[in-house]
Structure 1
Amino acid sequence: MSIQERRERERAERRRLIVDAARELAEAEGWDAVTTRRLAERVEYSQPVLYSHFKGKDAIVRAVAVQGFVDMTERLRAARTAHRSPARALRALAIAYLDFAAERPALYDAMFVREVDLAFGTAETPPELRAAFGEFVAAVSPLAGDDDLETRIEVFWSALHGQATLDHGRRLRAGHRRARLDLLLSRFS
């Protein structure tokens, strides 16, 4: 391995360490607790080293969000592909999505709620976001009929996002999650 390759590998490892630390700190204490000073202490690098990898907190949140899409896509794919029936695959994907949002609220917040510099539905959309959308395409398309597929997916995803966000904020009746999901799925299956 050349010196250049080793340096690139070490740089990538530092970047991953910073992203992981930000994600862990946000999950434990919320995004307000994530500062470059606290991250520098946590990863045992100076603040200038953090700034050599990221322009600031917003760039770190963006990196966390992109990694979150990788994690979410894996969960959605595993849930969807565990079922042959299109209706069951859609249900499994929806449950996996809602569980992901409930289990990782700060990560979900970075991905979908916080203002981050991530383009959705454009030529600049990162491949990690496209892969997540692809799982929705795979789950919804067998049930789409004559509807515009992308619009159907956007409405379905929006409904799941609304449920996830309102559940997190304790704005919905806690014991009715399944009933809400059943109603939603009855409109899309």
Structure 2
Amino acid sequence: MSPRPKIALDKQTIVLAAAQLANEQGSDHVTLALLAKKLNIKPPSLYNHFEGLPGIKRELALFSLEKLYDGLEAEALEKSPGEESVLAITDAYLSFARENPGLYEFALSAPDPSDGQVNRAGERIVRLVISKIQPFNLSDDEAIHAVRGLRSIMHGFASLEQKGGFGMPLDLDESYKLAVITFLRGMKISG
């Protein structure tokens, strides 16, 4: 048997390989055995960098939230606060879910809800969306309700699409945009 080729193994290399594995096969397929195989190492080598699978999943959750935030922020920065920037954010969200199906799953379910770093990454996304809905003149509570409503629309659509839940021959992007616009118009009326 020939020896395994040596690779430079560090946390970032492992996380990127785990992210690729998640996107290719789904979050449930991120296991120590499959990740080690992908990296061409033995599973115990992963313990030199992480506290087992829970540690890797925590890093994937954090990586996913940061990658999602970066995509949302990049789109939002190009637009003024209000309907145009919210539409850009919702488009970026759906694009992230489509392009990163495994990472998207990790962005939704952090392994430890009491993890401060992961929570802060999620809160950055909420603050970004709140900053872009300010022109709707919502109270603080109404803004949180609006973020929850938008998240429900975005996640519901992305989830249904990933599961093949839309079978009618109509443009999915148009359906998504109409759902978001209808929600935003409702905010204008109630806000």
TM range (shorter): 0.7 to 0.9
Corresponding position of 1:160: 154
RMSD value, Cα: 2.5
Q: Distance in 1 between matches of 2:66 and 2:47?
A: 24
Counterpart residue number, 1:118: 113
1:33-68 deviations in Å (ceiling 9; x for gaps): 322122223224332221232233233122112111
Structure 1 position 188 matched with structure 2 position 187: yes
Deviation at 1:119, TM superposition (A): 4.2
Which whole-Å CA distance do the structure 1 matches of 2:156 and 2:122 have between them?
19
- How many residues get paired? 175
Structure 1: gaps (5+ residues): 1-10
Q: CA deviation at 1:28?
A: 1.3
Identity within the alignment, %: 25
The TM-score with structure 2 as length reference comes to 0.78
Residue 170 in structure 1 maps to residue 164 in structure 2? yes
Specify which of 78, 92, 108 is matched with residue 88 of structure 2: 92
Unaligned runs of 5+ in 2: 1-7
Q: C-alpha deviations, 1:54-102, integer Å up to 9, x for none?
A: 2332331221121111111111111111112511111111111111112
Runs of 4+ in 1 over 4 A off after TM superposition: none
Determine the structure 1 residue equivalent to 2:138: 145
Give the TM-score of the pair, scaled to structure 1. 0.79
C-alpha displacement of 1:159:
2.3
CA shift, 1:110, in A, is: 1.3
